[in-house]
Structures are given as C-alpha cells and as structure tokens.
Amino acid sequence: MRSGSHSSSASRPRNSAAADKLRGTVDVADLPPAWRRIVQAARPRHLPERTLPHDHHRPEVIGRIFRCRGTDWPAPRTTAAIARRTPNTASSLKRVSEVRARIVSGHQGQSFSLLQTKDVAGLYRCAHRARTAVISFGSAKVLLDISERPTNRGCVSLEEFVRYKCYYSLVSRPEEVQLALAHALDWLSESHCDNPRDPRCYPRAIFETEQSYQLDSPEQRQAFVSAHKRSRRSPDLTDARGRTWCQGAPHTMDLIQVAGHTLPIGYHWDVQATHDSIIATGWERWKLPGRGYVNIHPDALIRGGNATKTHPIADDKAYGRDPRTPRSSRRSRGH
C-alpha cells in the first residue's frame, strides 16, 4: 500500500492530557534505564543484539544499539528507538532498542539515509508480535526492492513503512521526547485495528495502490475496500499489480497482532497473480509468475506457492554484485 508521506498514525492527545497520562501511567524514574536516559537526552544503556523469535510472547531486543555520548543529542543519522510491550497487558514498556540508519549512495549520485535490511525485517516482524512504538531522531527511509540502487521512487519513509502497524514519532529536540513518549503510551493503550478484514492488516509495501489512501476513519477504510474489491459479492481485494488477495486457510501456528488486535492463528492471504510480478518486502525480493500464487502474511512473511526468492540468495556470492539500476530508469533508456 505504497503512498506518499503522511502525518503520524497516532491519535494526538492534547498536551495537558498527554502529560497527565505520562504522570499517571508511568513514572519516568521507573522506566528501564535505556529509555529513561533517552527521555533525559543522555546516554542509553547498551543492550545486546538479539534475533527475533517467532513466539510473540517473548519479544526480544532487535537491531543495533546506538550509544549517545555524554549528554549530546543523538546525531541525525540515528533513528528508531523502539519500545515494546506484549499484547493485552497494562504493564509499562518492556524493551528498548535502537537502530542506526546509514548513508547509501543511490542512483545518479543521490544519497539516502536507509535502515539496514536486518533492521527493517526485525522491526516489521516485531511490530506484529508486540505493541511497538518508534521514536525517530532523524529522517530514515526503507529501500523496498533490495536488488536495486536507491531512488526516491523506490524508497519509502520509515513512517510510511510502519504506518498502522505501530506508533511513529519524529523527534528533533530533546524537550520533545517526553511528550512523544506520552503519545506512544496513549497509542499503545488502545486497539487500532477492527478485525482481520480491516485494510490496515495488509503489508503496505506489498499491497500496491494507484494512489495514496488514508485509513484512519471507518469511511476511509470502506472507500479503500470499495476501490479494490474484485467484485461486489466477493470480499477479496485486488492490488495495483492485478494480484488478488484471498483469505487462506491457516497453515502455521503463528499468532500475530496488528495494532492491538490479535488475528486468528495462521492468518494469511492466498495471493494469486494474473501476470508476472515482483514482491518487494524491504528485506527480500520475490518473483511471482503469472497464474501463480503465494501465501503472504500480515508481517510480510512470504511462503509456499509458486514464488521464487531472488534476493538475498543462499549463495553468498550474490552479495558481491552491485545493485541493479532501477527498473524505471532501465525502461526510460529503452532496456
């Protein structure tokens, strides 16, 4: 569901209400050391890097830890301080982690501040296994097709990438952190998904649309469904690539959630293609042949069916090749 830039997905409480919620819900002194020091714009505690398990009841720290020096405010290249808590609990924030964007040279000499693919995958998968808030200290983008060199068209903002799956806030000054935390706690305390048919369940990077859609109100969500329904009688939707998304029978024991709403065990879509198409998740690239199908989960897990993963390839020799020129540029040159 790629679209242009949007404002934060969180509902913004008034400053006084947010401050009251912060005082009434979590005492800053009781927060984990890492988050407390982030609030104070000081150095966070170093946490170990870990991998994300499939069991959503055991959320783990993901990504690399950025250590601020002294009381300096994080550099603009630092992004995504991630605070999470397990679903359906009223406890305070459980884990705090940080990842750092890196400057990458893109097509025609442009520079892009990108998250690494392992951090993109870890964040997106984590957001479906634990309530997640992202506090960003600088702009960052996600390269969707990892086989290509970055371009403005081929990248989306981190805010857009995680929209409707977790809270996001861009913080530019130390004094904004405390209010951002209050907004995050307010968002985490409520559910922002109605049911498995809610269009906010779709992985936005994969379900491509012809235009930008807002999904905040029931009327906006109904407009999205009406615009993409395969037929009046069918509940299945069709994306801009001509792929039909049908709710599939459960094949796994994964229990995931979207913005506080727990989905049925093994929930996914059987996605059927009318012609060859590329599925780009931000950390993997798959090719789906025409008349083929593949299982796609809300956390962008691709499995089964006729799709073939082209990047990354198990043979590490493939990593030594330079990224390709973007498809749009190759077409413009007649390739």
Rounded to a whole number, what is the largest CA-CA distance in the chain?
A: 62
Query: Two tokens at 276?
Result: 């060859």
pLDDT tens-digit map of 179-202: 888 898 889 889 999 999 999 999
- CA atoms of 105 and 43, how far apart (whole Å): 30
163, 169 Cβ separation under 8 angstroms: no
Walk across the sheet containing 237-238 and list its strands.
237-238, 244-247, 269-272, 293-296, 302-303
30, 91 Cβ separation under 8 angstroms: no
Smallest CA-to-CA distance from 80 within 129, 29, 22, 120 is with 120
What does the pLDDT read at residue 264? 95
Cis peptide before 312 (omega within 30 of 0): yes
pTM of the model: 0.74
Smallest CA-to-CA distance from 240 within 195, 275, 191, 266 is with 275
- CA atoms of 182 and 191, how far apart (whole Å): 16
Three-point CA angle 277, 290, 165, nearest 5°: 45
pLDDT tens-digit map of 95-137: 667 788 899 999 888 999 999 999 999 999 999 998 888 988 8
Q: Is 176 exposed, middle or buried (0-12, 13-18, 19+ CB in 10 A)?
A: middle
Question: What is the 8-class DSSP label of residue 266?
Answer: T
pLDDT tens-digit map of 42-85: 333 333 333 333 333 323 222 222 222 223 344 443 344 444 44
What does the pLDDT read at residue 9? 42
Smallest CA-to-CA distance from 211 within 245, 246, 242, 239 is with 239
Q: Are strands 302-303 and 293-296 parallel, antiparallel or unpaired?
A: antiparallel
Q: Are strands 167-170 and 131-136 parallel, antiparallel or unpaired?
A: parallel
